[in-house]
A = this chain, B = another copy of it.
Amino acid sequence: MARRRRGRSGDGGSREWIFRAACREFAGRGFAGANVDRIAAAAGVNKAMIYYHFKSKAALYREILNDMFVAVAARLDAMASAHTTPEGKIRAFVEAIAREAEARPHFPPIWFREIAEGGTHLELATMKIVGGIVQRLAAMIREGIEAGRFKPVDPLLVHAGIVAPVLLYYASGDLRKRLTRAGLAGADSFGSDDVIAHVQRVTLGTLEGKM
């Protein structure tokens, strides 16, 4: 442990080392389970530095939450603009969630825990960004309906059908390993690309009303 990834290119100094170590700590142990001493050790800085850069453990956590959704929204816009058809946009939405989960491995577990906690730590600004993400998907569906290619389906049901399985896949990596080690049908039979393709197929099938 201790002293990780200092001196790497793209490093923003102690503040960023702390931020990254905190992402891992909160993802692995949750807000209450996370330990400031451990974050400091993993970041390779003194504990007092955390309070120099951040107001509190809670403020640090809230900043991570906000960063997650800012990144998702940005990636969503970047990927969606490359597609013109409603189908392409839906595919891009699914892939954007998955790619963001890969870029920020703390995203799925932290979000799962925060959902379980009722979103207690979400700032208003962050909630608005979360709302905007759902609205982007709703707009894609509306567009597809107007183009006569999609049947009307509740956007939140579609959203859940995409985000829940994709994030579950990324959040459950350790659990699946553990189940496999225990001699159970752990299933390493597929990878992230299979998950993405499957969710894209299921989602479009639902929207195109082929069932």
Chain A interfacial positions (CB closer than 8 Å to B) = 27-33, 108-110, 112-119, 122, 124, 127-128, 130-131, 134-135, 138, 153-157, 160-161, 163-165, 167-169, 171-175, 177-179, 182, 184-185, 187, 189-190, 194-195, 198-199, 201-202, 204-206, 208, 210-211
If the complex has contacts A112-B116, A118-B174, A156-B189, are A206 and B202 also in contact, measured as CB distance less than 8 A? yes
Q: Which residues on B sit within 8 Å (CB–CB) of A195?
A: 157, 160
Q: Which residues on B sit within 8 Å (CB–CB) of A211?
A: 201-202, 204-205, 208, 210-211
When C-beta atoms are compared, the residue in chain B nearest to A184 turns out to be B131
Can you list 27 residue pairs at the A/B interface with Cβ under 8 Å? A29-B117, A30-B32, A30-B113, A30-B116, A33-B33, A109-B116, A110-B116, A113-B113, A113-B116, A118-B175, A118-B177, A118-B178, A119-B175, A124-B182, A127-B178, A131-B179, A131-B182, A131-B185, A154-B190, A154-B198, A155-B187, A156-B185, A156-B187, A156-B189, A157-B165, A164-B168, A205-B205
* Cβ of A116 to closest chain B Cβ, rounded Å: 4
Q: Which residues on B sit within 8 Å (CB–CB) of A175?
A: 114-115, 118-119
Q: Which residues on B sit within 8 Å (CB–CB) of A156?
A: 185, 187, 189-190
* Cβ of A210 to closest chain B Cβ, rounded Å: 5
Q: Are A189 and B154 in contact (CB under 8 A)?
A: yes
* Cβ of A169 to closest chain B Cβ, rounded Å: 6
Q: Which residues on B sit within 8 Å (CB–CB) of A206?
A: 201-202, 205
When C-beta atoms are compared, the residue in chain B nearest to A173 turns out to be B118
* Cβ of A66 to closest chain B Cβ, rounded Å: 14
In the A-B complex, the 5 residue pairs with the smallest Cβ-Cβ separation, listed nearest first, are A205-B211, A32-B33, A118-B174, A164-B164, A131-B184
Q: Which residues on B sit within 8 Å (CB–CB) of A179?
A: 119, 127, 130-131
